[in-house]
Structure 1
Amino acid sequence: MADAALSVRIQQGFQEEVDETKLLDCMKCGFCLPACPTYVETKNEMHSPRGRISIMKAVREGDIPFDDSVEEALDLCLGCRACEPACPAGVEYGSLLESARNVISREKNPTIKERAVKHTAFEHLFKDQWKMNSLVGSIRVYQRSGMKSIVDKLQLTRVLPEILSELESVMPEIQKRQYTAQSQNSSKRNFKVAFLSGCLMNTVFSKTNDSTILLMERLGCEVVEPKGQACCGALHGHSGELESAKENAKRNIDLFLEEEVDFIVNNAGGCGAFLSEYDHLLKDDPNYKELAEEFSNKIIDISSLLSKLDLFNYTLKTKNQEQYVLTYQDSCHLRNVNRVFEEPRDILKSVHGAEYVEMKDADQCCGSAGVYNLVNDEMSMKILDRKMTHVEDTQAQIVITSNPGCLLQMKLGIKRAGLENEMKALHIVDFINDYLEIQI
């Protein structure tokens, strides 16, 4: 139970930061309900978008005090934003949720453990790429030294929380980056692009980054990869750490706008959505408002760039004439924020030697949602298990996605369903690079 003073502070914070006009946009029509994964699982109105908006409004107006039930309702939201395209009134639910979480994070007195975790994550790992590289480098040593084999054999991960043990088991073999962008003949290029390499993508999924640059260059792009990039800030923003997110945004804007490029490319759906909303994040900053708009207007997901490069009009064939059944799991933010969903499907449908099968509810969240599967693991696994029933129905051999969190979650779902010998999960770029021949 929250104390009265905290409740007053949060009410005042909501009045200052949670936009009343946006709250009143909600007509309570209920179109969001079947789009919301947590409502689908619980059938509890407090766990629906319109229910959470009603709670925010009631706290803001002082009709109810802030307490543990309010915090639980907001924390249980995945932030997938599937409610936004479903909403006929165009309610900006994502910005309301971020504002509310920002107030709660600022006004609550965190425990020592919470303070330590946030400080380590947001002030070090996701702020300093060298520290992220060092941590992931340690994991690479652990994987390659034989320690992982010993740990697996002795089942030592059983001492960890179950979700951490399961995620450790599906972690990819970590590699160092092998490839950097090469200078191109500018007279032959299609576009000049800057590549945002990201945090986890550039460490845990470094091979995918290498494949992304190789593919863009092969299709005629001149690629630059600015040094000194910061984390996009998505995890900060979704966790109520908006000031830290703004710091990272400003650093990336300064760095990337030095480059005269047609597009700023990313290959992680969750990152891309946050990058495309830097203009909203910094709308009240007179020094960065216009720069943020310029930056956001140049953001493009790799599948959208491949579409602009007419990849699906080339002859795409599976290597060695292999035959595959494919399906696609949407990255929530790529679909719901950036409205990118046809482009990856167009590519997959054009592959000779592959049959594309659309998954039921492919647009619904897989339950990963940043660190959601760590902090709300019970709900995350319920959502994942429901997702896997639809995956199995496709009889696909390869599940394609476009976001690192989704990729790990789908790998975990495949393992939990006992399907490791029947299917695998791949990032769309790795599928194109490793499984296809492109006749240009």
Structure 2
Amino acid sequence: MNVMPFEKPRHRIAVLADQCVQCGLCLPVCPTYALDGSETESPRGRIAIAAALALGQASPSPQLREPLDHCLGCLNCQRACPAGIQYEALLVETRALLGPAPGRPRLLLEIAKRPNLNRWLQRLARRTAAARWFPRLLDPGKRALWRASLALLPTSPTIPATSSVQQHHGTQTDTVALFPGCVASVQDADAAQAAELLLAAVGYRVIRMPAFCCGALDLHDGEAAEAEAAAERTRRAWTAMGADHLVTVTSGCLGTLRRALPGVRVDDPVVLLAARIGRLRFRPLARRVALHVPCTQANVARSDAALAALLQQIPELALRRLPTPPYCCGAAGSHVLQFPERAGALRDGVISHLDALDAELLLSSNIGCRLHLAAGLAQRTTTLPTMHPLTLLAQQWDP
């Protein structure tokens, strides 16, 4: 019997959807349900849509796929689900079945995935003040997309680490490979250097993998073939490293790296650092710091407790965590570019809590989240500095 090309993926989607018991415990933690108050914009609604598509009970249409495209993939629902439904797998499989959204900004994402091109174009955009004049040259339908993209260029002040990676010492044991990513390799270079410094300080030998895209952007946008090509590149690069652990300073890459490398320990660096926390000492810092925990750090890396433990080792630091679900900043990979108004509304909900915290510094470990939040702060003419938590830890490290 001939097998239709999508028969097996459709079967997997139907099986995953069938695990949902429709209890509704996912609704209170879903950011898009909080934003819209609509069942179709909830995990339960999306599961029902995915099942209908997989079983042939409905045909793909703009109205049906829109809630699936709106999903942030934050996985608050997966963590809250008492039935243990694999929501991320369901979402990835369904988007792969449907293919990428018609409005997916392919050009911008291709630029983002190429570190050297990304770096060069960002410098050019800043030097020419492109954010002020470039969108005016475009067709009105494309202006919002490019305004959202240019707004993500770093504008708020950052505080670089004062330590150098060459200053580490101590007995080295296991080898850790550091995955730089694509956008993060450009925007989070200080954080990667900080990770090297601190991991070496607690006894790890650190080597760097080449900078490239892990495939997260493609995987979560339904570009299955491109995502698999990136996964294969990851597997080849990892094999060449000969390392014991793989880490990345960008929590948004973790799930995709784990998917590409089953059986490999892939972690947030703070997990390895917290396990050897007794080897680290930090100088005092009398500042009020707001900690934004990205959804991927809380729900994929599950490293928020380890990060808090490390930051609490800095004497005199007043650490204040931003609220947890259903709050999400709305960056979510390409979501901020495809749906800038929705992303802005979600971000406003997060930023509104900063005033009450009276913070002097904002920490976030996901580069997409941090740039998105910084852009929102800049719109409010707020000069609150932003930083990766690892950069702050390296800055305060006392060798």
Which of the numbers 246, 249, 269 marks the counterpart of 1:267? Answer: 249
**Cα–Cα, structure 1 residues 347 and 362, in superposed 2: closer, same or farther, change >3 Å?**
farther
2:398 corresponds in structure 1 to 439
- 1:205-249 CA-partner distances (Å, limit 9, x unpaired): 32332333233233332111134x541110010010122111111
TM-score after normalising by structure 2: 0.86
Q: CA RMSD in A?
A: 3.1
After superposition, where does 1:233-312 map in structure 2 within 5 Å? Answer: 233-278=215-260, 292-294=261-263, 297-310=264-277
Task: State the AA in 2 paired with 1:216.
Answer: L
Asked if 1:317 is matched to 2:283, the reply is: yes
Aligned to 1:283: none
| CA distances 1:43-99 after superposition (whole Å, capped 9, x unpaired) | 100000011101111222233332211111111111111111110001111111111
Q: Which range is displaced more, 26-35 or 297-306?
A: 297-306
Q: What are the within-5 Å matches in structure 2 for residues 416-435 of structure 1?
A: 416-420=379-383, 423-434=384-395
| Other-structure match for 1:50 | 44
C-alpha distance in 1 between matches for 2:339 and 2:196: 35
1:316 aligned partner, one-letter code = F
Match of 2:183 in 1: 200
CA distance in 2, matches of 1:184, 1:323: 25
The share of aligned pairs that are identical, in percent, is 24
| Structure 2 Cα separation of the partners of residues 125 and 359 of structure 1 | 28
| Equivalent-residue separation in structure 1 for 2:97 and 2:338 (angstroms) | 19
Aligned runs of 1:359-438 on 2, under 5 Å? 359-361=322-324, 364-420=327-383, 423-434=384-395, 436=396, 438=397
Question: Matched residue of 2:303: which SS?
Answer: coil
Q: Give matches, 1:17-416, under 5 Å.
A: 18-105=12-99, 117-118=105-106, 121=109, 126=113, 129=114, 132-143=115-126, 146-148=127-129, 155-157=132-134, 159=136, 161-162=143-144, 164-165=146-147, 168-169=150-151, 171-172=153-154, 188-227=171-210, 230-278=212-260, 292-294=261-263, 297-310=264-277, 314-318=280-284, 322-361=285-324, 364-416=327-379
CA 1:397–1:363: 2 relative to 1, 3 Å? farther
SS state at 2:22 partner: coil
Amino acid at match of 1:28: Q
The residue type equivalent to 1:188 in the other structure is: T
Separation (CA, whole Å) in 2 of partners of 1:255 and 1:170: 29
Aligned partners of 1:169 and 1:431: how far apart in 2? 24
* Greater relative CO, 1 or 2 (CA 8 Å, sep 6+): 2
- Paired residues of 1:365 and 1:383 also in contact (CA < 8 A): yes
Aligned to 2:160: none
Once residues 64 and 196 of structure 2 are traced to their aligned partners in structure 1, the CA distance between those partners, rounded to angstroms, is 45
> Contact (CA 8 Å) 2:31, 2:325: kept in 1 or not?
no
Query: Hey, what's the Cα distance between the residues in 2 that align with 1:267 and 1:253?
Result: 19
Q: Distance in 1 between matches of 2:8 and 2:355?
A: 44
Q: After superposition, what is the alpha-carbon deviation per residue over 1:261-315, rounded to whole angstroms, capped at 9, x for unaligned? A: 221110000001211222xxxxxxxxxxxxx323xx321112112212316x633
Q: CA 1:431–1:68 in structure 2 vs 1: closer, same or farther (change >3 Å)?
A: same
Please tell me the residue identity of whatever aligns with 1:226.
M
Alpha-carbon distance in 1 for matches of 2:108, 2:317: 44
Contact residue 330 and residue 364 of structure 1 kept, 8 A: no
What SS does the corresponding residue of 1:356 show, helix, strand or coil?
A: strand
Supply the distance in 1 between the matched residues of 2:326 and 2:173 (Cα, whole angstroms): 32
Measure how far apart 1:195 and its partner are: 0.9
AA paired with 2:334? V
**Distance (Å, rounded) in 1 between the aligned partners of 2:112 and 2:7:** 29
Equivalent position amino acid for 1:219 in 2: V
Whole-Å Cα distance in 2 between the matches of residues 184 and 346 of structure 1? 22
Query: Contact conserved, 2:294 with 2:365, CA < 8 A, in 1?
Result: yes
In the TM superposition, what whole-angstrom CA distance separates every residue of 1:134-184 from its partner, at most 9, and x where no partner exists?
3422322453xx433xx57xx32562735643653452379xxxx998799
1:276 alignment partner, SS class = helix
Aligned to 1:400, what secondary structure does the other structure show?
Answer: strand
Amino acid at match of 1:118: R
1:400 CA displacement: 1.0
Q: Residues 181 and 224 of structure 1 are in contact (CA less than 8 Å); yes or no, is this contact kept in structure 2?
A: no
Query: 2:180, 2:212 within 8 Å by CA — same for their partners in 1?
Result: no
Gaps of at least 5 residues in structure 2 are: 158-162
Distance 1:14 1:66, change over 3 A: farther
Evaluate the alpha carbon distance shift between residue 79 and residue 432 of structure 1 in structure 2; reply closer, same or farther with a 3 A threshold: same
Checking the alignment, whether the CA contact within 8 Å between 1:22 and 1:91 is kept in structure 2 is yes
Inter-partner Cα distance in structure 2 for 1:418 and 1:184: 39
Distance between the aligned counterparts of 1:194 and 1:411, measured in 2?
29
Q: CA offset at residue 391 of structure 1?
A: 2.3
